[in-house]
A = this chain, B = another copy of it.
Amino acid sequence: VKVSELARDAGVSVATIKYYVREGLLHPGRLTSATQAEYDASHVERLGLIRVLRDVGGVPVASIGAVLDAIDDTRLPLWETIRTAHHSLALHPAPEPVDDAPGDVTTAREEVLQYLVTRGWDIDDGSPALGAVAEALVAARELWGPTGVDLFEPYIETVDTMAGEELSYIDDSHGKSATVQQVIVGTVVFERALVALRRLAQQHHSNTRFKPR
């Protein structure tokens, strides 16, 4: 199909398609003349993945490239592709440069890692998520005084159960690319839902407790 039809099918503008091709996120169409190219179902599929990562995941364009590279690299074993792609996903809220207490966060990061490894988790000590938990722990201590990683135990229990269930739905019979897509998109879609639902639940309980009937 022509670029205008591809744009319509994928629900994006022609300018967006040209931008993605320039940025290397989308493979170029097959040239049929000096000014026209032919696109196929693989382009529609890739555009759908980019859109979910961008709109639902809020992943910046630069990180989308890294995720797609990990999916396309046929030499990486599956678990390593998932790890790489997972690390490339932006963690929201993004950590901003902290102008103090880096020592506290470094120590807290080590505590979090030890706690989870002792609990039997097989995790990578370079994961950006470890730093995020450490920062939250440091903030909790500044606000409410000394506390251990067990402050988060109810959450740890819950996410452990949920992640186990979610991974068990993954069908890895359609090749690495499809499996990685499922894992990443599932991460992004359910994470967004989880955070938003938690906000709504807080609103409900705040209203129940503080709003006059």
Q: Which of B133, B167, B201 contacts A160 (CB 8 A)?
A: B201
Binds B, one of A20-28, A66-74, A124-132: A124-132
Q: Is A101 an interface residue (CB 8 A)?
A: yes
> Is the Cβ of A203 less than 8 Å from the Cβ of B96?
no
Compute how far the CA of A6 lies from the CA of B135 in the bound complex, rounded to whole angstroms: 23
Q: Which of B11, B89, B199 contacts A86 (CB 8 A)?
A: B199
Question: In the complex, what residues of B have CB within 8 A of residue A110's CB?
Answer: none
Question: In the complex, what residues of B have CB within 8 A of residue A13's CB?
Answer: 99
Q: Is A3 an interface residue (CB 8 A)?
A: no
> Is the Cβ of B205 less than 8 Å from the Cβ of A163?
yes
Supposing A96-B55, A96-B58 touch, asked if A193 and B142 sit within 8 A by C-beta, the answer is: no
Q: Is A204 an interface residue (CB 8 A)?
A: yes
Q: Is A46 an interface residue (CB 8 A)?
A: no
Question: In the complex, what residues of B have CB within 8 A of residue A56's CB?
Answer: 93, 135-136, 139
Main secondary structure of the interface of A (DSSP, over half): helix
Q: Is A164 an interface residue (CB 8 A)?
A: yes
What's the number of copies of this chain in the assembled complex?
2
> Is the Cβ of B206 less than 8 Å from the Cβ of A183?
yes
Size range of the chain A interface in the assembly: 35 or more
Supposing A92-B58, A193-B137 touch, asked if A159 and B198 sit within 8 A by C-beta, the answer is: yes
Question: In the complex, what residues of B have CB within 8 A of residue A54's CB?
Answer: 96
Q: Known contacts A55-B95, A58-B94; can you find 14 more A-B pairs with CB under 8 A? A: A12-B99, A52-B143, A54-B96, A55-B139, A77-B210, A92-B92, A122-B208, A129-B196, A129-B197, A129-B203, A136-B193, A159-B201, A187-B199, A191-B195
Query: Which residues of chain A have a CB within 8 Å of any CB of chain B?
Result: 11-13, 16, 48, 52, 54-59, 77-79, 82-83, 86, 89-96, 98-101, 116, 121-124, 127, 129-130, 132-133, 135-137, 139-140, 142-143, 152, 154-156, 158-160, 162-167, 170, 172, 183, 185, 187-212
